[in-house]
Structure 1
Amino acid sequence: MDSPTRTNGVALVTGASRGLGAVIAARLAADGHPTAVVYRSGADGARRVVDGIRAAGGTAEAIAADVTDETAVTALVEDAARLLGAPVTTLVVNATGPQPDTDPTEVTWQDHLDQLTFFVKSPTLLMRAVLPGMRAHGGGRIIQIGSDVLERALPQMTPYVAAKAAQHALTECWAQVLGPDGITVNTVAPGWVPVERHAGTAAESLASYAAEVPLRRMGRPEDIAATVAFLASDAASFITGERVKVNGGHTLG
């Protein structure tokens, strides 16, 4: 998927020291965005991502931050603009936390809060922090990484499913409010895309899942990164408030 690069501005990708975030950050940098590789832990991984971007001719900085803390998020956005020389005009909300399986009849309010912290509180803090720079720039892109669990409604992941639904509700509301500022807001909803944390998954489980996908394969991080890159580009300037499933058709029908 070719994606003409939006000129100027910085791309900030949370949870970018590994997994989907690392590949998304590398893709945006390859498209010409100075990129903030944000991590909470995993400094070595973040440095590897930055080194890879620089080796390929891109511009990037690794920045540590707790994206669930308001003071830290404000400092993060300021640091990204200072280190990379321009305001953040592309925000990719990717950071996540543990996603434990829980009997839905035993779910506690704290279980819900744990997920809402990452998928409602953190996106809200990040949106508010980048908004002044985007408005001053004359526009921007906010891209949230969601999930196709909404369609699958996995009961053992009830708090995660509920939080992901709430996260996309933010996308729809923000798209209406921020549209007049030239800011688009969209959600990319991957299916199961194996990354480092799935290293111990049995081959049988992967094969079983892939057999349910019309395209008969697992998703790749590059599939998600390409979709994010498109939504970050001028080619997607008239797309907002959408939730784009990238799962090979797994949830059709």
Structure 2
Amino acid sequence: MTHAETPGTALITGSSRGLGAVIARRLADDGHPVAVVYRSGTEAADAVVADIRAKGGTAEAFAADVTDEAAVTRLVADVTDRLGPVTTLVVNATGPQPEADPTTVTWQDHLDQLTFFVKSPTLLMQAVVPAMRERGGGRIVQIGSDVLERVLPEMSAYTAAKAAQHSLTEVWARALGPDGITVNTVAPGWIPVERHAGAPAEALAAYAAAVPLRRMGDPEDVAAAVSYLASPGAAFVTGERIRVNGGHTLG
């Protein structure tokens, strides 16, 4: 995406709810036609699309398993047909994140996390890059985590996969830079969304007390970082990992 171009199509995985839905709405506000991608929950995806359209934006919902190669190929082809070539890819989809002592974690536990955070991003990147190259550039933003700095023993499989995901960001940034494609990671802290509805109030309070800004983050904080990285203003930013956690992991 060059400075002179209007915003092109943004594809956001896992965007029927949670962080992805807020990111989708924000990029639509920025002028991008938005592909709201979901695996299940048609009504939730349709609601995000309706919200965007109600504000004058352009959006379509697409059901896809973004861990399946054939499904990803079909997804990108469908999005291109209905909304235009993907110029911004936001890799946000995630799955269950079970907690377990590292001495009991199985290889399948690791594979499950690597499927979401290495396999899926790779399939998506490979599917969108040809069109980005044709247009002379694009943006890839991966949603990571500050769990790398927190070193939580019960999250070893998730942490390893998230570390691998950001390593992909750095390698892709170097490999795709000559094509004008930037690749970055946004690494949120604990940002409460729908799946945290049952979190104890005392846990939320304890976490917020440990954050230098003395509050929990909002999904809009993450969406703002993604918006920046997708904008012309971030044209010279690549290979970075931006923590959005209020300073929680400062040394």
Fold equivalence (TM over 0.5): yes
Q: State whether structure 2 residue 100 is matched by structure 1 residue 99.
A: no
Aligned to 1:73: 72
Could you tell me which of 188, 195, 198 is aligned with 1:197?
195
8 Å Cα contact 1:92-1:145 kept in structure 2: yes
1:134-154: CA deviations, max 9, x gaps?
A: 001110000000000000011
8 Å Cα contact 1:27-1:229 kept in structure 2: yes
CA RMSD between the two structures: 1.0
Q: How many residues align?
A: 249
* Cα distance in 1 for residues equivalent to 2:4 and 2:38: 24
Counterparts in 2 of 1:124 and 1:205: CA distance versus 1, 3 Å: same
* Cα distance in 2 for residues equivalent to 1:74 and 1:9: 19
Deviation at 1:220, TM superposition (A): 0.2
Secondary structure in 1 matching 2:103: helix
* Cα distance in 2 for residues equivalent to 1:8 and 1:202: 41
TM-score by length of 2: 0.98
Deviation at 1:9, TM superposition (A): 2.0
8 Å Cα contact 1:5-1:233 kept in structure 2: no
Aligned to 1:147: 145
Residue correspondence of structure 1 range 49-68 to structure 2 within 5 A = 49-68=48-67
Deviation at 1:5, TM superposition (A): 9.7
* Cα distance in 2 for residues equivalent to 1:189 and 1:154: 16
Aligned to 2:36: 37
8 Å Cα contact 1:6-1:233 kept in structure 2: no
**4+ residue runs over 2 A deviation:** none
Report percent identity of matched pairs.
Answer: 75
Deviation at 1:120, TM superposition (A): 0.1
1:156-207: CA deviations, max 9, x gaps?
A: 0100000000000000000000000000000000000000000011111100
* Cα distance in 1 for residues equivalent to 2:152 and 2:138: 34
* Cα distance in 2 for residues equivalent to 1:9 and 1:77: 14
Q: State whether structure 2 residue 233 is matched by structure 1 residue 235.
A: yes
Q: State whether structure 2 residue 182 is matched by structure 1 residue 184.
A: yes
TM-score by length of 1: 0.97
Give ranges in structure 2 of 5+ residues lacking alignment. none
Secondary structure in 2 matching 1:103: coil
Q: State whether structure 2 residue 25 is matched by structure 1 residue 26.
A: yes
* Cα distance in 2 for residues equivalent to 1:53 and 1:97: 25
Deviation at 1:83, TM superposition (A): 0.9
* Cα distance in 2 for residues equivalent to 1:52 and 1:6: 25
Could you tell me which of 241, 244, 247 is aligned with 1:249?
247
Deviation at 1:103, TM superposition (A): 1.1
